[in-house]
Amino acid sequence: MDWALIFRSTGQAAIGPDACYYALAASGLNVHIGYTGLLNFGQAAFGAAGAYGLAVAVVTYGVSFWAALFVGLLGSVVLALVLGFPTLRLRSDYLAIVTLAAAEIIRLVVRSVRYTATLGGTDGLQAFGDAFFRLNPFDGASYTPLQFRPDQVWLLVCAWPLVALCCLLTFLLMRSPWGRVVKAIREDEDAVRSLGKNTYWYKMQSLMLGGAFGAVAGIVFAMSKQSVNPDDYGTRFTFTALAVMILGGTARVIGPVVGAVIFIGILQFLDVLLRQAIDAGLVPGWLPIDVNKVAIIRLIFVGIALVLLMIFRPQGILGDRREVAIRDR
């Protein structure tokens, strides 16, 4: 067993692009679900809005990369408005169903043959990030001890500060009276309305803010792959982000970041560990585990771990047990 490889690989994943964009996507969900109580099950749609806003603007319409970033962000804000206008009057569980469906509708439209010329169909779109990677100041040497590629380092150096910026925005807003209103809406919307707050508009603002975080996540995701594909923005994107948020602790500013680092880290750790163990012949033959099934089996382990977490630490890693206790009263 090559433990150096296992830990290097784990460390690489824990601060790599996957952890980074899941931290962003989960931060957005945290604004929606954790702080505002908007059960958004369609965060993938916001990720797609960001990624496709960028890629379509660059590849199909020849917009410059930097302007296209704003197209991506704007795309998520518009999506929030379009999605929120009819649905924010719904009770939370209905909102969950509608957002889930909306995300799937968007994915299916994007991958449809009809719009292939514009949106790239199932092949997706590539080569939209060249302007960004041309600015890469890092040279060809690999960066030890984690051995990232230079373009990855460049992306991470730009993307993690975005995570920090999203966290800062969340922190500033949630300690303000604006955050107080939003948290109060999570507790009881009617009470807040009776006190003279336009809850509909607050929910819309929250949807836009968390959606914009989701769009940034989609952009980082697309840049890390240097490609956008419709099926990257399926329910798996949303529910992984959800698991990350719950793992870290809901309604905690850096909960999603901690959750993403640990979640992605553990996933990679299990992946490499299982492969190494199989190679070393440490897995008994009667277990239905082989190299081809590792990707699925590690998810089973993570699933069990999440179930145990919900039983023994329902508040997540950073959450406050007291809050869960009060909620259950």
Partner 1 sequence: MTVDAPASWTTTIAHEPGVAKPDPILVVEGVNRRFGGLVAVDVAHMEVQRGAITALIGPNGAGKTTLFNLLTGFDQSDGGSWRFAGRDLSGVPAHKVAHHGMVRTFQLTKSLALLTVMENMKLGATGQRGERFWGGLLRPLWRAQEKEIEERADVLLERFKLSHVRDEFAGALSGGQRKLLEMARALMVQPDLVMLDEPMAGVNPVLKQSLLTHVKQLRADGMTVLFVEHDMDVVYDISDWVVVLAQGRIIAEGPPAAIGANPKVIDAYLGTHFAEGGGEALGELGPQEHLEVMEVGLGQPLGAEGPGPERPLGAEGTAGDG
Per-residue binding letters, 111-150, with partner 1 (x by CB under 8 A): ----------------------------------------
Say whether residue 191 binds partner 1 (CB under 8 A). yes
Smallest distance, partner 1 to C-beta of residue 277, A: 44
Smallest distance, partner 1 to C-beta of residue 326, A: 4
Smallest distance, partner 1 to C-beta of residue 10, A: 35
Q: Which stretch binds partner 1 (CB under 8 A): 61-69, 135-143, 194-202, 299-307?
A: 194-202
Q: Which stretch binds partner 1 (CB under 8 A): 83-91, 100-108, 166-174, 259-267?
A: 166-174
Say whether residue 205 binds partner 1 (CB under 8 A). yes
Cβ closer to partner 1: 195 or 300? 195
Smallest distance, partner 1 to C-beta of residue 78, A: 17
Smallest distance, partner 1 to C-beta of residue 197, A: 6
Write the secondary structure of the chain as one string of H (helix), E (strand) and C (coil).
Answer: CCHHHHHHHHHHHHCCHHHHHHHHHHHHHHHHHHHHCCCCCCHHHHHHHHHHHHHHHHHHCCCCHHHHHHHHHHHHHHHHHHHHHHHCCCCHHHHHHHHHHHHHHHHHHHCCHHHHHHHCHHHCEECCCHHHHHCCCCCCCCECCCCECHHHHHHHHHHHHHHHHHHHHHHHHHCCHHHHHHHHHHHCHHHHHHCCCCHHHHHHHHHHHHHHHHHHHHHHHHHHHCEECHHHHCHHHHHHHHHHHHHHCCCCCCHHHHHHHHHHHHHHHHHHHHHHHHHCCCCCCCCCCCHHHHHHHHHHHHHHHHHHHHHHCCCCCCCCHHHHHHHHC
Which residue ranges make up the site for partner 1 (CB under 8 A)? 169, 172-173, 176-181, 183-184, 186-188, 190-199, 205, 209, 322-323, 326-327, 329
